[in-house]
Amino acid sequence: MSPTTADKVWLIVPLFNEAEVIGDVIREAHRSFPRIVCIDDGSRDNSANVARDAGAVVIQHPINLGQGAALQTGFDYVLNNTAAQYVITFDADGQHDPIEALAMVERAKQEGLAIIYGSRFLDNRTKPGLLKQIVLKTAVLVTRLTVGLKLTDAHNGLRLIRRDALAQINIRQDGMAHASEIVSQLAQTDLPWAEAPVHIRYTDYSRAKGQSLLNSVNILVDLLMR
């Protein structure tokens, strides 16, 4: 990515108690994205300092408000303080590959896309467990029924959003259903979009942190409550 292009892309990374891995995540991402903002959502560990030492801009919530609120804080920061043309939402636990995020940027520029949703179901590289597949497919079905958008993966944390689309997002869901809310609001923009195949790198850490049975149940509960 050229220096001029790099200034126009910001990575937004919400984090909560990720001190164990966030330094490595930021350093890996920095090879492709020099502009990274981490929203420390009330962590009780040293996450904010580790992210800052790794080179990210860090915004801290004094208490845990949820990933939806953390993302909105990041969106507001980029819109109010930068001239970024695109943002990439990026998980803090090492599941995403920055090279795939970089490919999203190049594709968006070439094809004039405002939104690119990452999908782990467009190829066979990602191997989620059976329960996770059921939850994610349920989220896809709910999205199709309520929004009318034919996505294959509605709860993927890796996505690209162009500035004009970003300005139309106002996340109110603080639970896991914020992902469906983002999709719903982006669909209402009628801006051009696509899906891109991405590999979710499930590790022992990410499975323990965010892929538990309880987390999957919470996604279903939030979707039903909506």
What are 31-90's pLDDT values in tens digits? Answer: 999 999 999 999 999 999 999 999 999 999 999 999 999 999 999 999 999 999 999 999
Number of H helices, E strands in the chain: 10, 7
Element (H, E) at 211: none
pTM for this predicted structure: 0.87
